[in-house]
Structure 1
Amino acid sequence: MITLRDVTLRRGAKVLLDRVSLTINPGEKVGLVGRNGAGKSTLFGLFNGSVHEDGGDFSRPAHWQLAQVAQNMPETDQPATEFVLAGDERLMATRERLADAEAALHADPDDADAGMAIAQAHADLHDAGEHDAVPRAQALILGLGFKTDEVQRPVNSFSGGWRMRLQLARALMSPSDLLLLDEPTNHLDLDALVWLESWLQRYPGTLIVISHDREFLDAVTQVTVHIDQQKLTRYGGNYSAFELLRAEQLELQQSAFSRQQDKIAHLQKFIDRFKAKATKARQAQSRVKALERMERIAPVLAEADFSFEFKEPPNLPNPMLAISDASFGYAASPEPKVILRQVSRSVLAGQRIGILGANGQGKSTLVKTIAHDIPLLSGTVTEGKGLAIGYFAQQELDVLHVDSNPLEHMIRLARDSGPPAREQELRNFLGSFNFSGDMVAQPVGTMSGGEKARLVLAMMVWQRPNLLLLDEPTNHLDLATREALSVALNEFEGTVMLVSHDRALLRAVCDEFWLVGRGEVRPFDGDLDDYQAYLLDESRRLRDEARAATAAAAPPPPPQPEPARQRQQAAAQLRPLRKELEKTESRMVVLEGEKQALEKRLSQSLPPAELAESGRRLKALGEELHSLEERWLALSGEIEQAGG
């Protein structure tokens, strides 16, 4: 088990954890949660050995194998399958030993030690799973969203996000007793995320995961460890159970609870309003349940030190957008690359639309075109009079300047887009988004992903949009900020179009869904549970199509005469016998080598205890060899009788 006893952890002069104690038992799946900067990643460093305790005692079983996702961007021309396979260090080391032994035997065909080493390496390879290593690696690659024709592509040919998926697959390929995952869902779309949840639910070792995706934590963890005010608190249960337990604790703290009443009342106001508006549609009912959860954990939400709201839009054109026979894609040369065709949809005032679909199907292309980031290829997108778009790009740096600070961004925005404001007013506004003191003068390039995301949100709010286009807005936000965004979006009077793999946000905000896929945009009649079922069906359909295409491309086997069929049947019957015979022979070679080494050792002068132990081992080897020889004779007889 993993144990911390009175452990203190510092980052520089700052104390992150002060005399904390914790036990994590073998096989437990643990979610590590807390605000950004609370010390989650530093605690991970303690678990993986890159950070050492500043006080107290930390222990982890010495024999445990550790797996984690490398944070560096892989730069290699290795094929994807080979790169992922290399995550199994035991398998790679055994392959290397086999190659060395084969080279030694090639150099000296009479080298008996090399022959024994080859036999041992073959046995070790079998134990390490060499027989199915490539299919296991490719199952991981395909599960994380790659296509079948991409499993042998060079790693460097993929974009950064896809290369990080390969890093994740490589970590999952590694045999481990302890798996550490720090924000594993950041580069995944919803179908890959669902697959990862299923894989982790079957993982037999100890899992510790940092994530700001509450539904992912609910699906894969049974224990939650909360970092707050330099302390660790262990809760039995997943993230939702932790929320409820923590809400109950906070309610018992009357002094804190009294300060929260105004915020709770504010939450209750919009919960009541939106529940009253909800229709009987499944999407709307899913949203009602999400709002009811907010109602139950109101004290936790009220405790958060960050909240914001979108200003009331000056007008609400209706319809906001009218899309007619439109093609979306990229104006490449010589031919444009069309991703979505013949799209005709309307976007009305007050709609809350979740945009679903796998990566690469066109979700971001649709949003970028509506945001005027890329041109429309054909057809029309007619905007309502007075439309004001607030756009959150998936890559925040698309709209931020790395050398400018938050105040400079706001000054430029107020000057160019309005509304105009004095510098002090802008400083006060940034303070409401937790940019206070020296942070307003800190260059954006030195900020964390969460801080950049908060700045983009602040800039959107300032512009008083009536249409919000949000492309993966939660990638770098902690759980408290995600809840604040959910509350703000529910209070927003305008229209929301949301692309996100955060199912909790989609459930809480969206009343309807569009499905982007197979070159079209169509309504999705169902909720997120229905969408997950659709993803599984779609995955099966694609696998069946791939199998059918492979079968169609292969030449049909020539008709065989009856004797050939009989020989084929006999060969099929002989195959398992031959395989067992080879395995028996390999084991006999290994044992003979060990027996010879022991006999040589027994000829030397040994201490009595070692002499006795060696004698016992020699007897056991003799008995096992005798049993294997009998089996070898029996197998040889069966093969001979079968005509082999």
Structure 2
Amino acid sequence: MIRASGLTLRRGTKVLLDAADFVINPGERVGIVGKNGAGKSTLFALLKHEMDQDAGTLDVPASWRIASVQQEYAATDQPAREFVIDGDTRLRSLQAERDALGEDGDGTRIGELEALLTEAGAWSAASRAEQLLAGLGFKPHEWMAPVTSFSGGWRMRIALARALMAPSELLLLDEPTNHLDLDAMLWLERWLGAYEGTVLLISHDTEFLDAVARHILHFDQAKLVRYRGGYEDFITQRAERLRQSRAAWDRQTRETARLQGFIDRFKAKASKAKQAQSRVKALARMENLAPLHAEAGIDIRIPSPDSMPDPLLVLEGMQAGYTRADGEQTAILRDVKLMVRGGSRIGILGANGAGKSTLVKVLAGEMAPQAGTRQASRGLEIGYFAQQQLDVLDLQATPLAHLMRLAPEAREQDLRNYLGGFGFSGNTVLDPVGPMSGGEKARLALSLIVWQKPNLLLLDEPSNHLDVETREALATALAEFGGSMLMVSHDRHLLRTTVDSFWIVADGTVREFDGDLEDYRDWLAQRTAQDRREQAAENRAQADGQGVDRKAQKRQEAEERQRLSVLRKPLEKQLAKVEAEMETCRQRVQELDARIADPELYTDARRDERQKVMAEHGESAKRLGELEESWLGLQEQIEALSAS
């Protein structure tokens, strides 16, 4: 296990941890949460032996192999798949020694190496690396492309695959979803669910954190406080602790009342549509978050628009894409026919590269259609937050100076008050933008956009760089926004809380999607399975057409069966483990049901026993639900492999 005792960490004069104690047991998946600058990444550096503590001890088993994602790699022309396999350093070392011996070397040692290579999975290494790359969104023709041919975001995906390839007992992941789309994020959730080692995870994506983590370590006033359960459980427990603080009570009560009023208003007008009900459920979660909002000191408010034309925008037969260096046009989207109605709130789904950002740029008027029309209504006022929005900030200017350029006639105190809601309080409004964190710059960019009271917000990954508290404040503000909104985001909590319907970008077009995020996950699974079946059929057709050697073909088929068996084995092992725990948990729930049905349990003399039984029943029922969800996910993965 990992054990810290009296652990003290400083960064300059700032104390990050002061005599902190904590324990992490083998096999646990632990989320590390705290404000930006609290010391989360510094703790990871300490675990990786990249720095020393100032006082106290931090013990990690000496036999544990630690895997993590390196943030920077030297540019290399090495094929992506081989670069990923390099993550397994022991395998590469054995291969190098075996190659050096050749065929005429020490026979005994060659035999030993062959056995060690088999044990290390040498014969399945290529297929395992390809499986990781495929899960993270790489197409088969890209697996052997040089690493230098990919953009920075895709190189980070390759770096993540390399970390997952490395055999390890401890996996450290610092914001692993920053460069992932929703498809890859869902895949990573499933992969981590089957990982048998210990996971420490830093993430500002609360839904991803909740899906993966089973314990939370919270940086709280230079201590690390451990909470049982995922992020949602942490919110509940943390909120209760804050409610018990008299100093915060008044602020919490006012914030809770404001949010509850909004939730009640939304419920009153919500339809019975599945997506609307999903949003009601997400909004109800806000009541627990109220005291956390009050503590965070960030209270984003987006002004309601002065007018709301309907429709706002119409796309008719729209084609969009890019122009190559030789002047030839390449279309990404074709024949798009869509209407943005006044008051609509739309989430845009689709894989990276499908054309989501292209669609938003056309809607924003930043990109002209190659064909078709974009018709904007009179009175349309667009607020556009692009993925590169931070690049337009003046790094030498202050937040106050930025806002004064937009509103030269406004009172300085009014501008200060407005910026305060975005987390720029006191003299921080006079600090230059250059040294600010990515999250602070994103907050400033958003504040400048919404100051102008747009009636249509176009948001392309607005929560990138934002910490958890700011994401929650943004979700609340967008949920209350009285205008229209289209948003691209991989933050599922943000989508659930703020949008009423979805568009899906796939296969070169855009269409309305009748469903919620769970339906989209199912759609992705079906699509992946279909793609695999079609690829297999194509491979068979090519083999028949070329008159392939049947012996070689049978050998390839046997190798493919072995590859799938290797991939299924850990999933089946995990499935058996989950099924055993499900049965134990189900039996315990049945026992507790019988005790709850006993009238004697409700006598005054057995009050303490009744409370314990009720509490254990709630915990056991919740755990059974989690296990059933894991069982379904594992079954989906096994079925997908069987269909490929």
TM range (shorter): 0.7 to 0.9
Rg larger in 1 or in 2?
1
User: Contact 2:315–2:373 (CA<8 Å) still a contact in 1?
Assistant: yes
Please say if 1:255 is aligned against 2:244. no
Specify the alignment match of 2:140 in structure 1: 148
User: Contact 1:357–1:517 (CA<8 Å) still a contact in 2?
Assistant: yes
Please say if 1:347 is aligned against 2:340. yes
Please say if 1:511 is aligned against 2:500. yes
User: Contact 1:330–1:374 (CA<8 Å) still a contact in 2?
Assistant: no
Q: Secondary structure at the match of 1:149?
A: helix
Alpha-carbon offset, residue 259 of structure 1 = 2.8
Report the Cα distance in structure 2 between the residues aligned to 1:314 and 1:240, rounded to whole angstroms. 37
Report the Cα distance in structure 2 between the residues aligned to 1:342 and 1:169, rounded to whole angstroms. 36
Q: Secondary structure at the match of 2:22?
A: strand
User: Contact 2:390–2:445 (CA<8 Å) still a contact in 1?
Assistant: no
Which amino acid in structure 1 is aligned with residue 9 of structure 2?
L
Report the Cα distance in structure 2 between the residues aligned to 1:169 and 1:413, rounded to whole angstroms. 44
Write out per-residue CA displacement over residues 510-567 of structure 1, whole angstroms, 9 at most, x where no aligned residue: 111111111111111111101101011111112122222222222458699xxx99xx
Which amino acid in structure 1 is aligned with residue 233 of structure 2?
A
Distance change (3 Å), C-alpha of 1:557 and 1:157: closer
User: Contact 1:353–1:512 (CA<8 Å) still a contact in 2?
Assistant: yes
Specify the alignment match of 2:352 in structure 1: 359
Specify the alignment match of 2:465 in structure 1: 476
**Aligned residues with identical type, % of pairs:** 54
User: Contact 1:450–1:478 (CA<8 Å) still a contact in 2?
Assistant: yes
Specify the alignment match of 1:451 in structure 2: 440
Pick one of 160, 166, 170 that aligns with 1:178: 170
Specify the alignment match of 2:478 in structure 1: 489
Specify the alignment match of 2:38 in structure 1: 38
Specify the alignment match of 1:8 in structure 2: 8
Q: Which consecutive aligned stretches of 4+ in structure 1 deviate over 6 angstroms post-superposition?
A: none
Which amino acid in structure 2 is aligned with residue 406 of structure 1?
P
Please say if 1:433 is aligned against 2:410. no
Specify the alignment match of 1:546 in structure 2: 535
Please say if 1:85 is aligned against 2:97. no
Report the Cα distance in structure 2 between the residues aligned to 1:512 and 1:156, rounded to whole angstroms. 38
Alpha-carbon offset, residue 146 of structure 1 = 0.7
Report the Cα distance in structure 2 between the residues aligned to 1:470 and 1:196, rounded to whole angstroms. 25
Report the Cα distance in structure 2 between the residues aligned to 1:440 and 1:253, rounded to whole angstroms. 30
Write out per-residue CA displacement over residues 424-477 of structure 1, whole angstroms, 9 at most, x where no aligned residue: 654443333223456445444432221121111111121111110111111211
Q: Secondary structure at the match of 1:311?
A: coil
Alpha-carbon offset, residue 250 of structure 1 = 2.1
Specify the alignment match of 2:22 in structure 1: 22
Matches within 5 A, 1:85-164: 85-102=85-102, 114-164=106-156
Write out per-residue CA displacement over residues 106-160 of structure 1, whole angstroms, 9 at most, x where no aligned residue: xxx6x6xx44333322222111110100000000000000111111111111111
Matches within 5 A, 1:569-588: none
Report the Cα distance in structure 2 between the residues aligned to 1:13 and 1:28, rounded to whole angstroms. 33
Report the Cα distance in structure 1 between the residues aligned to 2:548 and 2:286, rounded to whole angstroms. 67
Which amino acid in structure 1 is aligned with residue 487 of structure 2?
L
Specify the alignment match of 2:316 in structure 1: 324
User: Contact 1:73–1:164 (CA<8 Å) still a contact in 2?
Assistant: no
Report the Cα distance in structure 2 between the residues aligned to 1:559 and 1:173, rounded to whole angstroms. 33
Cα RMSD after superposing both structures: 2.2
Specify the alignment match of 2:606 in structure 1: none
Specify the alignment match of 1:602 in structure 2: none
Specify the alignment match of 2:608 in structure 1: none
User: Contact 2:323–2:329 (CA<8 Å) still a contact in 1?
Assistant: yes
Matches within 5 A, 1:265-414: 265-332=257-324, 333-414=326-407
User: Contact 2:292–2:469 (CA<8 Å) still a contact in 1?
Assistant: no
Report the Cα distance in structure 1 between the residues aligned to 2:547 and 2:353, rounded to whole angstroms. 41
Distance change (3 Å), C-alpha of 1:556 and 1:319: closer
User: Contact 1:401–1:444 (CA<8 Å) still a contact in 2?
Assistant: yes
| Unpaired segments ≥5 residues, structure 2 | 563-644
Matches within 5 A, 1:230-249: 230-249=222-241
Specify the alignment match of 1:205 in structure 2: 197
Specify the alignment match of 1:586 in structure 2: none
Specify the alignment match of 1:635 in structure 2: none
User: Contact 2:299–2:423 (CA<8 Å) still a contact in 1?
Assistant: no
Matched positions, count: 554
Please say if 1:501 is aligned against 2:487. no
Distance change (3 Å), C-alpha of 1:544 and 1:78: same
User: Contact 2:30–2:217 (CA<8 Å) still a contact in 1?
Assistant: yes
Report the Cα distance in structure 2 between the residues aligned to 1:539 and 1:469, rounded to whole angstroms. 29
User: Contact 2:390–2:442 (CA<8 Å) still a contact in 1?
Assistant: no
Distance change (3 Å), C-alpha of 1:323 and 1:186: same
Report the Cα distance in structure 2 between the residues aligned to 1:328 and 1:4, rounded to whole angstroms. 55
Q: Secondary structure at the match of 1:474?
A: coil
Distance change (3 Å), C-alpha of 1:119 and 1:450: same
Alpha-carbon offset, residue 506 of structure 1 = 0.6
Q: Secondary structure at the match of 1:554?
A: helix
Report the Cα distance in structure 2 between the residues aligned to 1:7 and 1:558, rounded to whole angstroms. 67
Alpha-carbon offset, residue 95 of structure 1 = 1.2
Write out per-residue CA displacement over residues 154-203 of structure 1, whole angstroms, 9 at most, x where no aligned residue: 11111111110000000000000000000101100011000000000000
Specify the alignment match of 2:524 in structure 1: 535
User: Contact 1:396–1:452 (CA<8 Å) still a contact in 2?
Assistant: no
Deviates more, 1:243-252 or 1:62-71: 243-252
Distance change (3 Å), C-alpha of 1:30 and 1:138: same
Q: Secondary structure at the match of 1:458?
A: helix
User: Contact 1:197–1:220 (CA<8 Å) still a contact in 2?
Assistant: yes
Which amino acid in structure 2 is aligned with residue 96 of structure 1?
A
User: Contact 2:28–2:215 (CA<8 Å) still a contact in 1?
Assistant: yes
Which amino acid in structure 2 is aligned with residue 197 of structure 1?
E
Distance change (3 Å), C-alpha of 1:258 and 1:431: closer
Alpha-carbon offset, residue 398 of structure 1 = 4.0
TM-score (norm 1): 0.82
Which amino acid in structure 2 is aligned with residue 238 of structure 1?
G
Specify the alignment match of 1:71 in structure 2: 71
Report the Cα distance in structure 2 between the residues aligned to 1:199 and 1:176, rounded to whole angstroms. 14
Distance change (3 Å), C-alpha of 1:431 and 1:23: same
Write out per-residue CA displacement over residues 63-114 of structure 1, whole angstroms, 9 at most, x where no aligned residue: 1000000011551111110110100011111112122333xx7xxx6x6xx4
Report the Cα distance in structure 2 between the residues aligned to 1:431 and 1:249, rounded to whole angstroms. 26
Which amino acid in structure 2 is aligned with residue 515 of structure 1?
I
Report the Cα distance in structure 2 between the residues aligned to 1:556 and 1:429, rounded to whole angstroms. 69
User: Contact 1:168–1:184 (CA<8 Å) still a contact in 2?
Assistant: yes
Deviates more, 1:258-267 or 1:187-196: 258-267
Which amino acid in structure 1 is aligned with residue 220 of structure 2?
D
Distance change (3 Å), C-alpha of 1:319 and 1:118: same
Distance change (3 Å), C-alpha of 1:38 and 1:556: same
Alpha-carbon offset, residue 422 of structure 1 = 5.2
Please say if 1:188 is aligned against 2:177. no
Q: Secondary structure at the match of 1:386?
A: coil
Deviates more, 1:328-337 or 1:366-375: 328-337
Write out per-residue CA displacement over residues 223-274 of structure 1, whole angstroms, 9 at most, x where no aligned residue: 1111121111101101111111112222222332223211111111211111
Please say if 1:169 is aligned against 2:158. no
User: Contact 1:264–1:302 (CA<8 Å) still a contact in 2?
Assistant: no
User: Contact 1:321–1:381 (CA<8 Å) still a contact in 2?
Assistant: yes
Alpha-carbon offset, residue 384 of structure 1 = 1.6
Distance change (3 Å), C-alpha of 1:559 and 1:367: closer
Specify the alignment match of 2:631 in structure 1: none
Which amino acid in structure 2 is aligned with residue 341 of structure 1?
R
